[in-house]
Amino acid sequence: MATHKLLLLPGDGIGPEVMAEVRRLVGWLEQRGVADFALEEGLVGGSAYDAHGAAISDADMDRAQAADAVIFGAVGGPKWDPVPYDVRPEAGLLRLRKDLGLFANLRPAICYPALADASALKRELVDGLDILIVRELTGGVYFGEPKEIVTLEDGTKRAVDTQVYSEGEIERIARVAFDLAKVRGNKLASAEKRNVMKTGVLWHQVVSRVHKESYPEVALEHILADNCAMQLVRRPKQFDVLVTDNLFGDILSDIAAMLTGSLGMLPSASLGDVDPATGKRKAMYEPVHGSAPDIAGKGVANPIAMLASFGMAMKYSLGLGELADALDQAIAQVLTEGLRTADIAAPGTNSVSTGEMGGAVIKALEQQLAR
């Protein structure tokens, strides 16, 4: 049996609590003889800053490069608000994305019927929602240079961020999105601001060319990013796969998250190119929710996004796709059975702890597999 090398980076806030449920799931998989794992654990974010004065150490970066998959919890918290910009907790996450070349960020937003009432939108708008946001993750305004604050001659300051995209960067993310559209609903929406931004003009041109050249059978729609935000709350089920740049993807995926009832439900996968020599790709899996410092350490965080992120690792990195599907079924099952952590519980109803939810998902997974 192949041994899967995983690097766990729990991070800050609720990160360690939800990561504990991944450890449990991994232990259960080993016990069942499904797979063997070699687990390593490292520090990222504020916890890494406290230990080494950097948001991630070079040694942990090397371990991330060597892993089959990096499993990431969350970073940040008010404790580190005063630390210098270059070593702020988020810098660790951004370095992992950039140095591992994880340009394709997949953020599925699924509204489980059992949770439709937890959404801020009316049930009929979100019940059964299943969209996939494909966010470009290593380019755009997040990384473009210059990126600086300069002092002008008159003593006032000026800040610059640079939005930059090359044709190659747009083409490779477009291909990932078209390929995913083909195995889903065969339709793709591409969001940019070509009415204002040159990067939007090029984005539109490149996506159109790739469509014409390689994916004419996929129904492609171009949509302005602001209109896309509006359509996501007006009639979200019109979308299936949505491809967009780094910054728009950040914003649109938070909107999509709330459609599903809670940020605590959204997993993500960040993938690099397939290495032709090994057939493998670098990958990192992380919940979309943050470190939630307000509830950290209380044992009440929702572990579903973290567990579902591990499910995406099983699917995209570990060759355990069927098991990943069973895990999704198990999550749907516990929700149907009425189990709720505080973030998705109706006001005035009981909620379970992080550990109880994690345990219930594993139990449901056992039942799913016995079917």
Establish whether 285 is a catalytic residue. Answer: no
Are residues 96 and 286 in contact, defined by beta-carbon separation less than 8 angstroms?
no
Q: Give me the least distance between CB of 182 and Mg ion, in Å please.
A: 27
Q: Looking at the DSSP assignment, which residues form a beta bridge with residue 269?
A: 106, 285
Establish whether 250 is a catalytic residue. Answer: yes
**Residue among 99, 127, 226, 240 flagged as catalytic:** 226
Span of 3-11, 101-109, 245-253, 321-329 interacting with Mg ion by CB under 5 A: 245-253
Are residues 244 and 136 in contact, defined by beta-carbon separation less than 8 angstroms?
yes
Give 95 or 194: the residue with its C-beta nearer to Mg ion: 95
Give 136 or 250: the residue with its C-beta nearer to Mg ion: 250
Applying CB under 6 A, does 301 fall inside the site for ligand IPM? no
| Site size toward ligand IPM, by CB under 6 A | 3
Binds ligand IPM (CB under 6 A): choice among 250, 306, 316, 328: 250
Is residue 212 packed enough to be buried (19+ CB in 10 Å), middle (13-18) or exposed (0-12)?
exposed
Q: Give me the least distance between CB of 201 and ligand IPM, in Å please.
A: 24
**Residue among 142, 165, 285, 316 flagged as catalytic:** 142
Binds Mg ion (CB under 5 A): choice among 136, 250, 328, 343: 250
User: 189: left (phi > 0), else alpha (psi -120 to 50), else beta?
Assistant: beta
From the list 348, 304, 307, 299, the residue with the least C-alpha distance to 324 is 307
Question: Crossing angle for the helix pair 89-99 and 58-66, nearest 10 degrees?
Answer: 40
Q: How far is 283 from 302, CA to CA, in rounded Å?
A: 23
> Which residue's C-beta sits nearest to ligand IPM?
90
> Which residue's C-beta sits nearest to Mg ion?
250
Q: How far is 10 from 272, CA to CA, in rounded Å?
A: 21
Q: How far is 217 from 81, CA to CA, in rounded Å?
A: 49
Name residues contacting ligand IPM, limited to 74-113 (CB under 6 A): 90, 93
**Residue among 127, 161, 240, 254 flagged as catalytic:** 254
Q: Give me the least distance between CB of 210 and ligand IPM, in Å please.
A: 24
Applying CB under 6 A, does 161 fall inside the site for ligand IPM? no
Are residues 313 and 283 in contact, defined by beta-carbon separation less than 8 angstroms?
yes
Establish whether 142 is a catalytic residue. Answer: yes
Residues with a known catalytic role = 142, 193, 226, 250, 254
